[in-house]
Structure 1
Amino acid sequence: MNIKDFRIHFNSKLSDLYPKTEIDAFFFRVVEHELGLSLMDVFTKNELEISEEKLQNLHLILSKLQQEEPIQYILGETSFYGFTFKVNSNVLIPRPETEELVEWIINSVNNSNNKVSILDIGTGSGCIAISLEKSIPSSNVYAIDISEKAIEMAKNNAILNNAFVTFIQNDILNEYKLEKSFDVIVSNPPYVRELEKKEIKNNVLNNEPHLALFVEDNNPLIFYSRIADVAKDQLNENGLLFFEINQYLGKETKEMLLEKGFKNIELKKDLFGNDRMIKATL
């Protein structure tokens, strides 16, 4: 089977599950990963015959896509802020909105000539912590996660990207204190309420770790409130707290931070126009 014929087959098998633009994105990503072909190659070498071994791999990937497994988990990696990160079902798949949060942090601290100490709470794959360490030359980065498997993945990603991050396994909801203070604390904690599950696509709902996604409806800011308390105790004077937030709870998150004594609170929309991140100063 050649590239052209496989693409026709690929599209026909996925057309009932995904929009065409998404299928095309899957196809280009898969052939690049498995066959080493660029986008241009797909069009200029579409008569190229695929070996039986490679064809078996492609059919296996296609079958997993038909089962609505995320392409990032199938291929075992994804790109975030220009870096490559290994991912599996133990960690959330990094998203473009979180890249915007990273960009905001970098722009907020990169004019400092001093060493910047950063704490990432709920690090998952380590995408925030590692991207900040790589992008802020004067940074000293720590990262916490409750999951031992997530910490293992994050450590591997730090090695992959030649980043120097101190990883700590801990449940932030328990009483815990690092024996140091920070200039920046950032977190993208669980924030999807149970009532919002109906809005979540099957490929996310059935594959990504619920521990990192969902909170109870009756206490949706549980992590934000606790992390804000940690920040009050461990941020340096004029230190910055950054959150990725639930788009429906921007007002409530801002009010909670005000009540805890934070100032200069700024709510920011993501590229889709949703309230998605917040910055506050101690």
Structure 2
Amino acid sequence: MTLAELKQHFITELETIYDKDESEQIFLIYLEDKFGLQYTPHNKVEKLDVIFSDLDKLKSGIPIQHITEKAFFYDDFFFVNQHTLIPRPETEELIEIIKNDYVKNPPSSIIDLGTGSGCIPISLKKIFPNANVSALDVSEKALEVAAINAKNLNTDILLIHQNLLEDFNLDRKFEVIISNPPYIRNLEKEEMHKNVLDFEPHLALFVEDDNALIFYERVIAFAENHLTENGVIYCEINQYLGEETKTLFLTKYKNVQLIKDISGNDRMIKATNN
């Protein structure tokens, strides 16, 4: 079977889940991330038993990143599995904002609350190599993934097993506090793709409809004892709750920015008393 024939087979088999363009993109990612191959239409392909087995997994809705165990994020490949969210492009925008804010005066201390795969703190450690970077998560399995990524990408970050919804004290302060916490309301599940609903950890995704800002309340509570005087909080947020989230942060911070992503959706909060 040629790669051209295999591509068409992928598109046909995946048409009930993805449109043609998505199926083609998944095929190209699969070729490169699984086998290190570029698409050359007339080249013959081997390992068809492995490929067809993986295609069956894709048809069941398993994300391509879980099959290749790779997700590209901010110039690096991160190991991912079912215990962490797959890094999203919108989160790269958050990294870029922080990078630009501190281009002249890098922060000395950073913490990521709810780190998952570790993509945020690891990327920031590479941008700010002299910063002390910490990463917190309630899931031990997620922290295991973050540890693998830190090792693979030669970054030294401190991993902390802790539930953000509980009171705790780390006996230190941070110039930058970041969080991309669970923020999707249960009522929004019907908008989501099967491969997210069925295969990514709900612990990292969803909040109750009547308490949708609980994690932002906890970020604010954490910051009361752990943010330096001139420190800054950055959070990724629910696009439907931008104004509500901004109002919440304004109860404690003088300057709160609601920032849109590249698609024009309310996506990030930046809060400071400066």
| TM bucket, shorter chain | over 0.9
Deviation at 1:124, TM superposition (A): 0.2
Unmatched runs of 5 consecutive residues or more in structure 1: none
**Structure 1 stretches of at least 4 aligned residues deviating more than 4 Å after TM superposition:** none
Q: Which residue of 1 is the match for residue 256 of structure 2?
A: 265
Deviation at 1:138, TM superposition (A): 2.8
Q: Which residue of 1 is the match for residue 151 of structure 2?
A: 159
Q: Which residue of 2 is the match for residue 212 of structure 1?
A: 204
Q: Which residue of 2 is the match for residue 96 of structure 1?
A: 89
- Give the Cα separation in 2 of the matches to 1:35 and 1:127: 23
Q: Which residue of 2 is the match for residue 35 of structure 1?
A: 35
Q: Report the residue type matching 1:117 in the other structure.
A: S
Q: Which residue of 2 is the match for residue 18 of structure 1?
A: 18
Q: Report the residue type matching 1:85 in the other structure.
A: F
Q: Report the residue type matching 1:32 in the other structure.
A: E
Q: Find 1:231's aligned residue among 198, 223, 227.
A: 223
Deviates more, 1:230-239 or 1:163-172: 230-239
Residues 1:148 and 2:143 aligned together: no
Deviation at 1:148, TM superposition (A): 0.3
TM-score normalised by structure 1 residue count = 0.94
Deviation at 1:158, TM superposition (A): 0.2
Residues 1:57 and 2:43 aligned together: no
Q: Find 2:117's aligned residue among 119, 122, 125.
A: 125
- Give the Cα separation in 2 of the matches to 1:87 and 1:143: 16
Q: Which residue of 2 is the match for residue 66 of structure 1?
A: 59
Q: Report the residue type matching 1:13 in the other structure.
A: E
Deviation at 1:49, TM superposition (A): 1.9
Q: Report the residue type matching 1:46 in the other structure.
A: P
Percent identity between the aligned chains? 48
Q: Deviations over 1:45-80 (max 9, x none)?
A: 4222222xx211111121111111111111111110
Q: Find 1:47's aligned residue among 37, 42, 50.
A: 42
Let me know the Cα RMSD of the aligned residues.
Answer: 1.2
Q: Report the residue type matching 2:92 in the other structure.
A: E
Deviation at 1:36, TM superposition (A): 2.4
- Give the Cα separation in 2 of the matches to 1:88 and 1:275: 28
Q: 1:158 to 1:69 in 2, by over 3 A?
A: same
Q: 1:195 to 1:105 in 2, by over 3 A?
A: same
Deviation at 1:271, TM superposition (A): 1.4
- Give the Cα separation in 1 of the matches to 2:35 and 2:196: 27
- Give the Cα separation in 1 of the matches to 2:241 and 2:223: 20
- Give the Cα separation in 1 of the matches to 2:271 and 2:26: 38
TM-score normalised by structure 2 residue count = 0.97
Other structure's SS at 1:47 match: coil
Q: Is the 8 A contact 2:33 2:70 kept in 1?
A: no
Unmatched runs of 5 consecutive residues or more in structure 2: none
- Give the Cα separation in 2 of the matches to 1:244 and 1:182: 18
- Give the Cα separation in 2 of the matches to 1:29 and 1:180: 42
Other structure's SS at 2:154 match: coil
